[in-house]
Amino acid sequence: MRILSIETSCDETSIAVVDYEKDSNTYKVVSHNLNSQIDIHKQYGGVFPTQAKREHGLNILGLLEQTLTHIESDTSHTSSDSVFEKAFQYLQKERELKIMTEEIYASADSFLHKKPSVDYIAITGGPGLEPALWVGMSFAKFLSTLWNIPLININHMEGHISSVLLQKSIIDFPALSLLISGGHTELVEINKWGSYQILGKTRDDAIGEAYDKVARILGYEYPGGPQIAKMAQYIRENTNAENKYNIHLPRPMLHHSDLDFSFSGLKTAVLYLVRDLKEKYQTLDDDMKNYIAYEFEEAVADVIKAKLTKTIKNKKYSTLIVAGGVIANNFLKEIISIWAEKNNILFLKPTADLATDNAIMIALAAHVALIHDYAQVYKPDDEEFEKLNPSGDWSLNNI
């Protein structure tokens, strides 16, 4: 089974081809290309949706061509001009992409004339930034119609959960998943593939968002997560982490009875802390910033550990899957790993390159949905195909 997947939910345009080998129950990444827009969004301090949409539109054709370079094509297939016309209508909403696609299709030896040998096209249907999601969805519908390949609609968060399948292809359930990214902080119970129940989530900012906002307060560019991580690590490695400036930050929702999170108070506390330190010391130097980053990360880790501990009081889980961009963070990985060992739960996390958004995880989620018979498959001739739209707030509870 071979799947071509497309991801455009935020600021990464990514296309992959991933195989599943039934006999050995293994997944293999055949091809993957990714274009990150971080340099473009830096100037805005975060992802700017209309700009993200534009960039996806400009990059997606080139990424597809690169991804398909070494993929065999189905030489028996030819798409007539009438099929192209029909396919083309799905690009109506994407002006520049439509013009570029028309130009490429006009050349007889274009890659668009070679139907790749893939069984399905998987597309991220949400959650995410709607203008960005639309580019991927429109393009996927165009390709699906042009090549007559069925489409599978995939939830981006299910993609993040599936990102661990390259480490371990069989998951022991019940599993608990902690999803920590720039847009989400969710604790999810998984009793089997395709059955997700959100046990708790953030009431305001996501963890990654808090990292980004704190970095911004300290004067660093978007995305601030890696920078904060580096500063906190500096304190751990080069000092005995003594509290030089009497810095204390709150551990929000630590003693709440539910499993929800809240990080906007932590960010505000950093804002006041910076104001007070500047008043007291007449400056905010790198040493102080490093200590703030350190204390912020300690607070985040304490909250994560407390919520995980609270969760396992109610039910026993065999596996803990932590996914999303923030699990690229080595300190959090270590803290969670120690916690999991102590509590006798197998801890799975994606490799760093699969932690942040990518199309590989979308293909993995599509494979899983096919294997376990719950895939949302849309054939180009189906009535439902036309009606399929992305949804910016598609919850895991509604798979």
Kindly state whether residue 10 participates in binding ligand KG4, applying the rule CB under 6 A. yes
Smallest gap, in angstroms, from Cβ of residue 12 to ligand KG4? Answer: 7
Q: Please state, as a whole number, how many other Cβ atoms lie within 10 Å of the Cβ of residue 58.
A: 16
* Structure tokens that stand for 213 in this block: 């906002």
If contact means CB under 5 to 8 A according to the sort of partner, which of ligand KG4, Zn ion, none does residue 224 touch? ligand KG4
The distance of closest approach from Cβ of residue 329 to ligand KG4 in the complex, given in angstroms and rounded to an integer, is 3
Burial of 59 (0-12, 13-18, 19+ CB in 10 A): buried
Contact flag: residue 127 with ligand KG4 (CB under 6 A): no
Supply the minimum distance, in Å, between the C-beta of residue 180 and ligand KG4: 8
Report, in Å, the least distance between residue 337 CB and ligand KG4: 15
Identify which of residues 212 and 260 has a Cβ nearer to ligand KG4 in the complex.
212
Take residue 263 and report the two structure tokens written for it.
């990080």
Of 145, 162, 116, the closest CA to residue 371 belongs to: 162
Between 261 and 294, whose beta carbon lies closer to Zn ion? Answer: 261
Summarize as ranges the residues that interact with Zn ion (CB under 5 A): 181, 357
At 387, which helix (H) or strand (E)?
helix 383-387
Among 57, 136, 200, 223, binds ligand KG4 (CB under 6 A): 223
CB nearer ligand KG4, residue 326 or residue 370: 326
For the chain, give the longest Cα–Cα distance: 75
Helices (H), 17-80: 38-41, 49-68
> Considering just the CA atoms, what is the radius of gyration of the chain in Å?
22
Report how far residue 146's alpha carbon sits from residue 88's, in angstroms, rounded to the nearest whole number.
Answer: 8
- Which of helix, strand or coil describes residue 258? coil
Do residues 327 and 177 make contact, with C-beta atoms less than 8 angstroms apart?
no
Lookup: tokens for 314: 């109610």
Region 225-284 residues binding ligand KG4, contact defined as CB under 6 A: 225-226, 229
Could you say whether residue 13 binds ligand KG4 (CB under 6 A)? Answer: no
Distance (Å, whole) CA 116 – CA 32:
15
> Which pair of tokens denotes residue 39?
């340099």
Piece of the chain touching ligand KG4 by CB under 6 A; list 103-111, 192-200, 242-250, 319-327: 319-327
Query: Measured from the CB of residue 156, what is the shortest distance to Zn ion in angstroms?
Result: 6
CA 30 – CA 23 distance, rounded (Å) = 18
Query: Which residues in the 142-181 window bind ligand KG4 by CB under 6 A?
Result: 181
Whichever of 361 and 366 has its CB closer to ligand KG4, that residue is 361
Q: Does 31 bind ligand KG4 (CB under 6 A)?
A: no
Q: Is 136 in the site for ligand KG4 (CB under 6 A)?
A: no
User: Could you say whether residue 360 binds ligand KG4 (CB under 6 A)?
Assistant: no
When binding is defined by CB under 6 A, the residue of 208, 252, 350, 390 that contacts ligand KG4 is 208
